[in-house]
Amino acid sequence: MPPPSPPSPATPCDEFSTSLADLGSITPPEPQETCANFSTRLTNCTHVLGTEATSLSRLSMLYETDPIARRGFNSAVEAITRHGGRKGKLVVCGVGKSGHISNKLVATLTSLKIPAIFLHPTEALHGDLGVVEDDNTILFISNSGKTGELLALLPHFDTSLPTIIMTSHTLPSTCEIIEQRPGTILLPAPLHISETDAFGVNAPTISTTMALALGDALAIAVSRELHANIASVFHKNHPGGAIGAAIQAPKKLSDFAISLIDMPEVSSSFTASQVVLKAYQSATGWVRLGGDVAVSPRRIKKLGEKEMEEFAKNVRGLMVPRKEWIAVSAGWRWRGRRSGFGRWVFFLGGLDGRRFTDLDMEWMKELEQPNHVFSLD
C-alpha cells in the first residue's frame, strides 16, 4: 500500500490575484475575501499609505509657499555647492532611523557625484571627527531637533562650517540644535499628524518618509546645480545591476541629442563672458544664436580670459554655423566602451530612418570607414 500523501501546507488566506486589465479599470472586481483578516489588513495598508501621501503633499505645499522653508532650502543648496563641486563634502549625521536615512542620502549623493559621507555621532566623538575638513558642510537629520548624540557632537564642529538641520520644526526658535548653534540652516519636514495619533505607536514612519523625500529633493537640486547632465553622471557611477545593464544597451543618437529649442538663445551683441553666463544658466550647457548657430559646452570651456570681453561672434572657433554641422540619422544606434587610452569609442549601427540630428563637429575626432567608429577624447 503506498504511503499517504502529505497534508497540504496551511495558508492563512487564499491567494488573491488581479490582472493588469482589472487594475486599470474604473471599477475593479470585488476580491473574494476568504480570509477573516483580509479587510483589516488592507485597511491598515491603505491607511498608512494615505497618511504618508498626505504628509508628502503638505510638505510639497510648504516648500511652495512658506518663506522660511523656501529660504532654508535655497541656503542649503548654496552651502553645499559653494565650492562648485571642486572641493569640500557634505557630512551627514543622524542616529537610529535617521541614521539609516542619512546613509541612504549619502548613497544617492555620491551616485550623483556630490562628495558626501555619513558620520555616526558616537564614532565621531571617538576619533572619526578627523574626517571633517575646513571646507565641509554639516547636515544633521533629527526629527525632534534635540537628539542627545547630535547635541553632544555639535560643539566639536568649528563654527565656520555651514550647518544644516532637517527636522520636524518649522520655526528656528523651537529647535534646540539651532538654539545651540545660531545660524544653522533650517530644512523643515513637519508631520501633519503625530505617528502615535496616526498609527497608535511613535515608531519612525511618517517622519522617515518625509526626511527621505526631502533628502532626495536636496540631492537632485544640488546635482542639477553642479552638473549639466545629471543622467550621464549617474550612469557613469552606476554600471552595475539592472540600471547598468539598461545603460549599456544600444542607444539611438536621438536619445543623446540636444534640441535647438531647448538651448537658451544669445544675441549677436553678446560678449564671450555673457555667453558663459547664459551657458551656466542652461540645463545642458548649450546655447544658440538664432536657428543656425550653436555653441557647445566644450567650446565654451576652452575660452581664455583675454577673450571674455570680445564679441562672441568674433571669437574664433566658439560658434559653429549650420554649414559646419554633420547630419547623421537620428535612428543610428551606438554602443560605447572605454578604451585603454581613457577615450570613449562608439560603434554605430546602420541607418534606419530619415530623421536627422545635428552633432557638433568637435566631438568627432576620428572617423574610420567602413565601420563607422568614432573615437572621442
Per-residue pLDDT in tens (0 to 9) along the chain, 377 residues? 555 555 555 545 554 455 555 555 555 556 566 688 999 999 999 999 999 999 999 999 999 999 999 999 999 999 999 988 788 999 999 999 999 999 999 999 999 999 999 999 999 999 999 999 999 999 999 999 999 999 999 999 999 999 999 999 999 999 999 999 999 999 999 999 999 999 999 999 999 999 999 999 999 999 998 887 777 777 777 666 666 566 555 566 556 667 777 788 899 899 999 999 988 888 778 888 888 888 888 888 888 888 898 898 888 888 888 777 766 655 566 555 444 444 444 444 433 333 334 444 334 433 333 233 332 32
**Long-range CB contact pairs, 209-214, < 8 A, 24+:** 209/52, 209/55, 209/56, 210/55, 210/56, 210/59, 210/168, 211/98, 211/101, 211/141, 211/143, 211/166, 212/101, 212/104, 212/105, 213/56, 213/59, 214/59, 214/166, 214/187, 214/189
Residue that finishes a domain, picked among 182, 202, 236:
236
Quote the domain boundaries for residue 266.
250-376
Inter-helix orientation angle 67-81/206-226, to 10°: 50
In a domain, 163, yes or no: yes
Examine the domain organization and report whether 254 and 191 are in the same domain: no
Inter-helix orientation angle 206-226/230-237, to 10°: 110
Examine the domain organization and report whether 255 and 325 are in the same domain: yes
Residue that finishes a domain, picked among 202, 236, 270:
236
In a domain, 7, yes or no: no
Examine the domain organization and report whether 215 and 294 are in the same domain: no
Residue that finishes a domain, picked among 207, 236, 265:
236
In a domain, 295, yes or no: yes
> What pLDDT shows up at residue 257?
65
Q: The domain that contains 188 carries what CATH number?
A: 3.40.50.10490
Examine the domain organization and report whether 220 and 308 are in the same domain: no
Examine the domain organization and report whether 184 and 83 are in the same domain: yes
Rounded to two decimals, the pTM is 0.63
Examine the domain organization and report whether 180 and 271 are in the same domain: no
> What pLDDT shows up at residue 248?
58
> What pLDDT shows up at residue 347?
42
In a domain, 17, yes or no: no
Q: Burial-class residue 320 by CB neighbours within 10 Å (0-12, 13-18, 19+).
A: buried
